[in-house]
Structure 1
Amino acid sequence: MKFPFRLLLCSVVAFSAGCATQPPASPSTTAAPAARPAPTPLLLISIDGYRADYVERNLSPTLSALAEGGVTAESMQPSFPSLTFPNHYTIVTGLRPDHHGMVNNTMFDPALGEFSLSNRKAGADGRWWAQGTPIWETAGRSGLNTATMFWPGTEAPIHDYRPDHWQPYDGSVTPEQRVDQVLAWLDLPADQRPSFLTLYFDDVDHAGHEHGPDSRQVNAALSKVDAALARLVDGLKQRQLFDRINLIVVSDHGMASVPAKNSVMIEKLIPLDHVQTVSMGVLAGFNPKPGFDFAKIEAKLEKPQKHMQCWDKTRVPERFAYGSNPRVPQLLCLADVGWRITTRAYQAKKLKDGKLSLGEHGYDNADPRMKALFVAHGPAFREGAQIPAFPNVDVYPLMTHLLNLTPAKNDGDYNAVKDALKSEAQ
């Protein structure tokens, strides 16, 4: 499960269009903005874990057709670390993880405690997300209706604000049901119909973790998600919306194969009871623990190591743009691509349960296996065009331009992606 959050007092499978809605603004938060002409709707779609070269497997005909009739990038570079929550939040804020605060899937904050994918309470706490301003907040406060079918952060009241319509994450909700909910939102009366929407699929990522990126299970997941995209396209065509909505299809990162034997057993190198362990896996993080010589531990790990590199957070390579945020642990160890950082006890348990991940991400974001997807289609986009690779922070200024919004402070560059648009839409 990628986003296990606190459930609402409504049934996600009922898919009532108004099930989870933004409550009326109080005078102390947001007054209703003046009415404004609705822009062309924008639907942002994430296929979690869709590596850029997966499209070459010819298992995504709907996605390929969208690319042929629209714009595709050579690839899209994820932000470091190439993990799910950091990159999904980067896409909707235009901020690198070091700036928006979601620096890992697993974190520690002295004021807030621990954050992890399984911590429902933390995921629903807007303070974890408050260093960034997501596009649904900017759009909503500008008078646009918004709706999110799963996206990290949408279940938390960020700056006391949520999307107008949203669903708590539930991994049992099928791709087809997710599509149907988006179509139901687009069926709302004009004054309630969302101008900005998200749609999230996680099947490809799950299959990649469980079986590796070269598995038949990943191929099956590619076909399954593409069938859901076909359902979406058909539904848009039935509503005469296909040529009147802008679609942006992205992924958050790629995937690399990690054989079971490729494990760095960290307890062989440092005494784990002498540090606060914040995270393990591809990017391991450690903080000092009172009473122990952390400088000695750092000095040892920062020496050349087999299958990983370690740095004090102040010495992380500049190209990662990572290490200044207080939530970044003091000592970081990044596994070489194709390796994991773990302990013997943890690996033994995972092997016993048959749950050891054979595919991973989070690695150096410049590695080809981490490359992400970008495809765009709609009235604003050129047809049959390809643009050069670009970093995913640039998706945000592209979206705010399409929605005619004043962007929040961000790290993106609209000029890097404006050639995806028709000249009259630039």
Structure 2
Amino acid sequence: MTQRYVLLTIVIHWILFMYHIEIISSTDNSRLLIISLDGFRHDYLKKHVLRTLNQIQNEGIKTKHGMEPTFVTMTMPNHVSIATGMYQEDHGIIHNRFNDTKLKKFITFNTKDIGQWPDHKVEPLWITAAKQYKKSAVLYWPTSHNEFNGIRPSYYTSKYSDSVPLREKIDDAITFFSEFSFQLVMLYHFEPDKQGHDYGPNSNEIREILLRLDNELAHLLKRVKKELNDDLNIIILSDHGMEETKQLIQPFLDGYIDKSAVEDNILDGALFSVTPHLGYFKQVFDNLTRIPNVTVYKRDEFPERYHYAKAIHRIGEIIVMPNNVNTFFSQKTVIANVSKGNHGYDNKLPSMQAIFMARGPDFQQHIEIDSLKNVDVYHIGCKILNLKPNPYATAGSINNLTHIFRKRTNKCSQLFIDMSVVLFVLFLDFAF
């Protein structure tokens, strides 16, 4: 074996070894924090001066028209869509509270492990991470306290609470990254949704809470820079927008239908859904069409673009939609109080669009995209964390988002380049 051959072999093995090390270091060390701010309407970013949020989106990825939620534009369904990359009719969470006629169970935010996940295809990002040996913490995110296919994340909050301030959640997240080497943290915060409901989307109270949240995110950036050397991918998003409420319709109280004519699995809010008792379908359907400015659908004729009506054990046989926003339905048989702001409406409406922004070592800088869908977020998370996505998460993708990512640069990359060049030059000098 000649010295030339030996040197060539060393050079090739060095390059292959360093390339392998560089690939590992540029993917497996990535960390991701996802923060959801409930009810943060996209155009709040234009209406209010929010310095930290503007900094985050200007440094990284911003959206011109926000992020499209899934229908219905409500909190629990959309947080499950964000986490799973699935439409609501596929993951099964179709409302904040609903009755499953097959399970004979009522499901809400606090429901835990009663069989509401009979389909093994449903898999949140934190479960995908756990199956591929990544450590994740899920803080107050809807359904995070549930077991999926016998698996849970490394850490999760077992009971939801609105009493925990955002700063405390942020501090907990940083601790998971800095002290326990977690790769993924997903946290949910209930504001500014609460203020949007109580005071309306155009209120001074909305402005005040947005400024306060913006200040807490400034605290986040300081801690990330100081304790993590800015080596953290951050996504800030929301689940839906908010609209002013101007009209309340109570189909039972207003005399359109009788409650004795329908079963107990009733949905209300931005839509109204019922299942008539046997023999009452036509009567109930025809009477609901008497409500002004609404469209009444048979469930199997509900528009496919909503990706909503396949969950037949959880949605009524008749679905009523308002023709205009600002309308809210209540199933109460006494006069109901209605919030000044609400959501749940058509997911294409500008007022229902959510926020999305991202920054960090695996995201490009100074990129503006037109919009994205919240079912894409699952795939963005898989890309950042080098995870193989759930094959059933087909509602979203990153096919149109590849330009928002960049390859992580690090010391291994530079060492690989420098040493490879040196060795190759030495080889050429020796060979010739």
TM-score normalised to the size of structure 1? Answer: 0.83
CA distance in 2, matches of 1:141, 1:287: 39
5 Å-filtered alignment, 1:263-282, equals: 263-267=248-252, 268-277=255-264, 278-282=266-270
Corresponding residue for 1:320?
306
Q: Paired residues, what number?
A: 373
| Deviates further, 381-390 or 93-102 | 381-390
Q: Find the residue that maps to 2:399 and give its secondary structure.
A: helix
- Cα deviation, 1:283-333, whole Å, max 9, x if unaligned, reads 22212334x4123312443x4742322211111112112211122221111
CA distance in 2, matches of 1:137, 1:174: 26
CA distance in 2, matches of 1:266, 1:164: 46
Corresponding residue for 2:130?
140
1:82 alignment partner AA: T
Corresponding residue for 1:76?
67
Cα distance change, pair 222–152 in 1 and its aligned pair in 2 (3 A): same
1:145 alignment partner AA: K
Is 1:329 the counterpart of 2:320? The answer is no
5 Å-filtered alignment, 1:14-413, equals: 38-74=28-64, 75-117=66-108, 120=110, 123-125=111-113, 127-131=115-119, 132-167=122-157, 168-189=159-180, 193-242=181-230, 244-259=231-246, 262-267=247-252, 268-277=255-264, 278-290=266-278, 292-301=279-288, 303=289, 305-326=291-312, 327-335=314-322, 336-343=324-331, 345-348=333-336, 350=337, 356-408=338-390, 409-410=392-393, 411-413=395-397
CA distance in 1, matches of 2:113, 2:49: 38
Q: Find the residue that maps to 1:187 and give its secondary structure.
A: helix
1:420 alignment partner AA: I
Deviation at 1:88, TM superposition (A): 0.4
- Cα deviation, 1:24-80, whole Å, max 9, x if unaligned, reads xxxxxxxxxxxxx84310111101100000011334211110001000122111111
Q: Find the residue that maps to 1:124 and give its secondary structure.
A: coil
CA distance in 2, matches of 1:232, 1:126: 36
Rg larger in structure: 2
Alpha carbons 2:361, 2:408 under 8 Å: kept: no
1:128 alignment partner AA: Q
Alpha carbons 2:141, 2:188 under 8 Å: kept: yes
1:378 alignment partner AA: G
Q: What's the Cα RMSD here?
A: 2.0
CA distance in 2, matches of 1:424, 1:415: 20
Percent identity between matched residues is 28
**Ranges in structure 2 where 5+ consecutive residues have no aligned partner:** 1-26, 410-432
Corresponding residue for 1:23?
none
Corresponding residue for 1:9?
none
Alpha carbons 1:398, 1:414 under 8 Å: kept: yes
Deviation at 1:174, TM superposition (A): 1.1
Q: Find the residue that maps to 1:87 and give its secondary structure.
A: helix
Q: Find the residue that maps to 1:188 and give its secondary structure.
A: helix
Alpha carbons 1:276, 1:289 under 8 Å: kept: yes
**Ranges in structure 1 where 5+ consecutive residues have no aligned partner:** 1-36, 351-355
Cα distance change, pair 41–347 in 1 and its aligned pair in 2 (3 A): farther
Q: Find the residue that maps to 1:323 and give its secondary structure.
A: coil
- Cα deviation, 1:152-191, whole Å, max 9, x if unaligned, reads 11111122222111223211111111111112212324xx
Deviation at 1:343, TM superposition (A): 4.9
